[in-house]
Amino acid sequence: MTPLRQRMIQDLRLRNLAPNTQEAYLRAVAKLAQHFHKSPELLSTEEVRSYLVYLVEEKHAGTDHYVQVLCALRFLFNVTLGRKEVLEGIPRPKSVKKLPMVLSMEEVAQFFEAIHNPKHRALLMTAYAGGLRVSEAVGLRVADIDSKRMLIRIRQGKGRKDRYVNLSPRLLEVLREYWRIFRPSDWLFPGKTPARPLTRSAVNDLCQRIRARAKIGKRLTPHTLRHSFATHLLEAGTDLRTIQILLGHRSLKTTATYTHVSEKTLRSAPSLLDLLPDLKERQATG
C-alpha cells in the first residue's frame, strides 16, 4: 500500500464516511493513477481535467458515475493533498432526473415464485418487505430479527443511521424456514465464507438470473424491489412521512418521487379530454 493511499484511508475514516463511500473513493483514485501510470500527487491541474473529459467523451460515463468520481477526486486533492486549486472551476453537472423502475405486485409475486433456493427467497423477500438497500439486506445479522416486537433492525444505513422496519408474520415464517435449513449464526445471509456476508454484486447477479427465469421483461435489480416497496405502500394509502422513515430518506422530497410512478396517484387525476362536452353534439347543434 502506498503512503498516499494509507493517508487517504485515514482521512476517510477520520470523517467517518460510510464503508461503501470509502471503497468507491479509493477505487476512483486508483483508476486515476492507473490511467496516467503515476501517483496522483504528481498530476497537474490540466492532467486531472483531461481525465474528467476522457471519462465523459470517451468512456461515456453516466452522470451518477461521473459525479462520484468528481467527489472522490475533490476529497483526494482538497483534503488529503491540500491542493484545492486542482479542481477549482470544474463544475458539477446537472443531475438527470429519472423515474425509478417499478414492478407491479403481480410481477413481484411472479419474481418470488421463480426463486427455488430458501436462502435466496428469504434474502430477496426481506429486501422487498423492508424496502432495504442491497447493502442493508446483506448487512443484516441474525440478532437484527426481533420476533417479539416484530421489527427488523437496520444497522448504520445510508447516512450512518440505524432504523427499524416492520417484520411481517409472513416474512418471519419465511425466515424461520430458511434458518431451520441453513442455521446462520452471525450474518443472516453469509457468503461462501461464513465469517463474511454475501456481496452486493452476488445479489445483483442473483436478481438477473431470477428475472430471466421469471420471464420479467423489465430491468430488475435489488434496488427495483426497494422502489416497488415504496410505490406499493403509497398505493396502499400509506402517507409519505411514514414511507420516508421506513426507507431511511433524509429528505421528504426524495420520497415524493414515488408519487410520480404510482398508478393510483396518476389515475386519481381526471382526464381533461374526457371532461369536455361531446364534440359531435356541439358540431351538430352548431
**The predicted structure's pLDDT at residue 29:** 96
Average confidence score pLDDT of the chain = 88
Residue tagged active-site, from 133, 211, 227, 232: 133
| 258 tagged catalytic | yes
For CATH 1.10.150.130, list the domain ranges present in the chain: 3-87
| 226 tagged catalytic | yes
Place of cell 471503497: 23
For CATH 1.10.443.10, list the domain ranges present in the chain: 105-267
| 223 tagged catalytic | yes
Q: Is the pTM of this model over 0.75?
A: no
Cα torsion 114, 117, 118, 124: sign: negative
Q: What is the phi/psi pair of residue 62, to 5°? A: -70, 165
Residue 272 identity (one-letter amino acid): L
pLDDT at 148 over 80: yes
Place of cell 361531446: 278
Residue tagged active-site, from 35, 158, 164, 200: 158
Q: Are 61 and 52 in contact (CB under 8 A)?
A: no
Higher pLDDT, 262 or 231: 231
**The predicted structure's pLDDT at residue 27:** 95
Q: Which three cell numbers, joined as nine digits, stand for 257?
A: 418521487
**What is the residue-wise DSSP string for 36-93?**
HTS-GGG--HHHHHHHHHHHHHTS---HHHHHHHHHHHHIIIIIIS--GGGGTT-PPP
- Looking at domain 3-87, its CATH class is mainly alpha
Residue tagged active-site, from 121, 226, 227, 232: 226
Residue tagged active-site, from 119, 120, 121, 249: 249
16: confidence class by pLDDT, cuts 50, 70, 90: confident
- Pick among 1.10.443.10, 3.30.300.130, 1.40.20.10, 3.40.50.150: CATH of 105-267: 1.10.443.10
